C-alpha cells in the first residue's frame, strides 16, 4: 500500500471541484483500487476533495488536524457536517498538540503529513511564495526531502480572490 499525502489550495472556485477531483482520481487509480492510504490535514478545498477521491478508489486515509480548535475556528459552520463526515470516515485522527489554529500549527501538521507519506500530490497553481506551511512551501519542503511530488492543476481549476495557502 502506498501512502500519499496532499497539499493544495484552500480557496478554490466552485467550478474547480470536479476537474480537481477527476485529476486526483486519475492519479490514485494508477495504484489500483484499495491500494492507497491517504494522509491529509483535511483543510477545506484540495484536502477534502482528495479524501473523497481516496474513498472513491476504496482506499483509506488518516487525518492530522493542526490544532484542537481547528474544526470550530477554521471550518465554516455550513461546511462542518461535511467535515465531520470526513473525520468519521478516517482510519485515524491525530492532532499536532497545538491548542489554537495558526501558521505554526498548520506548518507542524504539514510536516507531520510529509513524514508519513511516500509521495505528495499538490493541487497547486505553481505560484511561488506564500506563507510558511502554505502550498508552495510544502511542495518545496517535500522536494528538499526528495519526496516525489505530483502537481495537479487541471484546466478549469481556479482560486478565488480570498487569501490562499
Provide the greatest CA pair distance for the chain: 38
Helix axes 80-89, 46-56, angle to 10 degrees: 40
Over range 116-141, report the average pLDDT: 92
Over range 6-18, report the average pLDDT: 94
What pLDDT score does 164 carry? 41
Q: Taking the model in full, what pTM does it have? A: 0.94
| 129 band by pLDDT with thresholds 50, 70 and 90 | confident
Query: Cβ(23)–Cβ(154) under 8 Å?
Result: yes
Over range 89-108, report the average pLDDT: 96
**Residue 161 in this model has a pLDDT that exceeds 90:** no
What pLDDT score does 46 carry? 96
**Residue 12 grid coordinates:** 478554490
List, in order, residues 6 or more apart from 161 with CB less than 8 Å away.
11
Compute how many other C-beta atoms are within 10 angstroms of the C-beta atom of residue 88. 8
Cα angle 159, 31, 3; round to 5: 70
What pLDDT score does 130 carry? 76
What pLDDT score does 144 carry? 96
List, in order, residues 6 or more apart from 165 with CB less than 8 Å away.
9, 10, 43, 106, 130, 131, 133, 134, 135
Q: Give all domains of the chain, ordered by start, each with its CATH number.
A: 2-152 (3.40.50.450)
Average pLDDT value over all residues in the chain: 94
**Residue 57 in this model has a pLDDT that exceeds 50:** yes
CA distance 152 to 124: 6
Over range 79-105, report the average pLDDT: 96
Amino acid at each position: 500500500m502506498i501512502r500519499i499525502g496532499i497539499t493544495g489550495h484552500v480557496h478554490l472556485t466552485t467550478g474547480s471541484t470536479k476537474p480537481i477531483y477527476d485529476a486526483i482520481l486519475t492519479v490514485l487509480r494508477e495504484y489500483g483500487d484499495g491500494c492507497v492510504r491517504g494522509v491529509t490535514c483535511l483543510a477545506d478545498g484540495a484536502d477534502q476533495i482528495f479524501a473523497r477521491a481516496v474513498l472513491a478508489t476504496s482506499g483509506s486515509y488518516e487525518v492530522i488536524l493542526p490544532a484542537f480548535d481547528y474544526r470550530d475556528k477554521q471550518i465554516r459552520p455550513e461546511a462542518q457536517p461535511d467535515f465531520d463526515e470526513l473525520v468519521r470516515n478516517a482510519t485515524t485522527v491525530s492532532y499536532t498538540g497545538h491548542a489554537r489554529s495558526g501558521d505554526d500549527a498548520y506548518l507542524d501538521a504539514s510536516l507531520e503529513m510529509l513524514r508519513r507519506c511516500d509521495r505528495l500530490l499538490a493541487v497547486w497553481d505553481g505560484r511561488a511564495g506564500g506563507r510558511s506551511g502554505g502550498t508552495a512551501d510544502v511542495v518545496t519542503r517535500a522536494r528538499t526531502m526528495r519526496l516525489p511530488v505530483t502537481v495537479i492543476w487541471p484546466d478549469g481549476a481556479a482560486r478565488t480572490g480570498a487569501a490562499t495557502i
